[in-house]
Structures are given as C-alpha cells and as structure tokens.
Structure 1
C-alpha cells in the first residue's frame, strides 16, 4: 500500500528531537523508499523575503505572510513548496493528493513573492527521506500512526496544533497512549 498523500503522526515513544510530536506528509512512496515533509516545525529566523534573497531571486513585491517551515533534516538548503492545485509548473509539479501538490522548484517562490503563486501554500526547507522498506519498518515498530491528509491540516491549521489535532482526528487521546513500545 502506498503512503503517498498520507500523514505520519509520531507516537509519544518517538523522542528524537527532530521528530518528537511531529506530523509528516508523505509526498512520494514506492518500493525504493519514501520522501516527506514535516508540516509542524516552523523554521526559526527564516522569512520568504530572506529565502528569496538568499536564493538570488528578486525581493517580494507584495505583502507576504507565508511562514517557512523545517521540512526535515535532509538537504536543508533546498526549498519544497506544498500548494493548492491551482498552480502547476508542468514537469516540476507533483500531485500528492487531490488538493495538495508539491513543487520543489524556486520559480514557485518567486511567483509567491510577486502575487502570481498558488492560492494556498506551505514552504519547507529540507525533507525527510527513507530507504527501501525503512518507513514500513518504523510503522511496524510503532513509531508512526498514519491517517489521511486533509488539505486544511496542511495549509490552515496552526503548526503548533497539528500533532494534537491529528491525534484527535484519529480518535486518540494522547494521554491514553503508552510511552513504551514492544511487540506481543
């Protein structure tokens, strides 16, 4: 079963700082591995204006309220933009779900800064990657829960609220979960 377009929600047993109480959107998944973006880790000291400047792109010409997030520990100098389906760079854009698309190209940043971008967007620096069978093993070991990825969770819900909202969406009270893992 493909995990593309699904959310991975960290179990309380995940204590590694980068993934503690994290929510990831799996953007691609195959037998070769998986790629996803953390969607609940705002990046500190990063703005779209700064990102455009550091990327060598023209500064924005419109008021910008687009937060930048830490998408994962891999390739943190590279940006990935999740966005609504009203924006498509043809060969650069990947459909993740019906309502959430991914463009890992600088052109979308420039378009956002000049009022030509998608209606809804989420910008991340870096990504999370897994080798063949690795994410499946982490799920079997009880590190992650999976659920569908409503677009409002990705675009509208405050980042700080996403982990708890996903738990409630799945009908889980985090206080009732065990902090120990194991196998029966």
Structure 2
C-alpha cells in the first residue's frame, strides 16, 4: 500500500456523512482519512464496531500470541475493501520501521501484522484502534464527493478516534462543527 500526501490533502481529517448518504455501509459514517494524494485516498471508518469479532479472536486466527488478560481494544469494520486485512490506528509513540505511516500529530497507521504481534505480547502502542478493511477512492473521486455535499470535513484528534464511544462519533463530529443534526435534509447539491 503506497501512501503519499499532497498540499490539498485531507489526510488527518474526518469525513462525516451527510444524511443524503443512504447506503448502509456509509450512513452516518465517520471516516478518518489516512492518506490523500492525486492518485486517490484511503480512510478508515471509525464508528462501525465489528459485531462478531474480538481482538483476541483475530490474534488467535493469525496465530499470534494472546495477551495474558482479555484485550480491551474493540474491532471495527474499517471499510468494504480488503476486509481480511487489519489496519491499526494508534498513538505515535509506537513505530514499526517501514510500516508505520504518520496520519497526524496524534495518530499513526500501521497495517502490518507485527503491530498485532506486539499488541498480543503487551508491547504495542499505548492507544489503538483496530479495523478490518478500509475505504478507498480513486483519483479525484473523494474531491467530487465532498464538492457534491455528500461529506462534511472536520479536523480529527486522538480523542475522537481513541476515546469517544463509536456509536457517539457521528453526533460528536456534527456537534463539534456546530451542525444541528435534527434539521439536516437528505437532499444534497449546490445552492
């Protein structure tokens, strides 16, 4: 996975779905954009808990060591692409050479099994968010979707990713932007 950022990059920001997005996978979605370049964008849904999978099960499935206590890190659905692959958003003190990409001052991304091995051995990052799969956009696709009013963009921070409960992230992002959600239209377009 090649990750490049450019001057107009949305990397490190969140996309917040407008009510006009009715596809089940993206309805009321909050997506952290991890990389954005002229070639496209990659992001992770941060408010879709995985219902039938735990970190402990994932570690066992990968044949990795299990921590001595039950891991408290919930698993999430990161998006519809590459759903068999784990992507870990984590605090920046952890770094796996050649595999960790800095998303923002507070958040890094590692999509290599070594981080899961380290987490299972209690040597992983202080804070972590584990997702299966990712969201991807081709050249100019994300820019068109934002311009068409499908997504609002807002700055992200470690609190939104690591501390805010998943079911509250969409409302928290909207209220953080000063948007009252009860009056939003499901129609989108240009004025």
Q: Quickly name the TM-score band, shorter chain normalised.
A: over 0.9
Task: Measure how far apart 1:52 and its partner are.
Answer: 0.8
Match of 2:91 among 73, 84, 95: 84
Q: For this pair of structures, how many residues does the alignment match?
A: 184
Q: CA offsets per residue over residues 143-174 of structure 1, 9 Å max, x none?
A: 10000001100000000000000000000001
Match of 1:7 among 7, 14, 30: 14
Q: What corresponds to 2:31 in structure 1?
A: 24
> Runs of 5+ in structure 2 lacking a partner?
1-7
Q: What corresponds to 1:40 in structure 2?
A: 47
- Corresponding residue SS for 1:53: helix
- Corresponding residue SS for 1:46: strand
Q: What corresponds to 1:71 in structure 2?
A: 78
Match of 1:131 among 106, 129, 138: 138
| Whole-angstrom CA distance in 1 between matches of 2:105 and 2:69 | 28
| Whole-angstrom CA distance in 2 between matches of 1:181 and 1:144 | 10
TM-score normalized by the length of structure 1: 0.97
TM-score normalized by the length of structure 2: 0.94
Match of 2:163 among 150, 156, 162: 156
Root mean square deviation of aligned Cα: 0.9
Q: Does 1:53 align with 2:60?
A: yes
- Corresponding residue SS for 2:10: coil
Q: Is the 8 A contact 2:56 2:70 kept in 1?
A: no
Q: Is the 8 A contact 1:62 1:115 kept in 2?
A: no
Q: CA offsets per residue over residues 21-74 of structure 1, 9 Å max, x none?
A: 000000000000000000000001111111011112223333311100000000
| Whole-angstrom CA distance in 2 between matches of 1:80 and 1:182 | 33
Query: After the TM superposition, which segments of 4 or more aligned residues of structure 1 sit over 6 Å from their partners?
Result: none
- Corresponding residue SS for 1:90: coil
Q: Is the 8 A contact 2:65 2:121 kept in 1?
A: no
Q: What corresponds to 2:175 in structure 1?
A: 168
Q: What corresponds to 1:119 in structure 2?
A: 126
Task: Measure how far apart 1:95 and its partner are.
Answer: 0.1
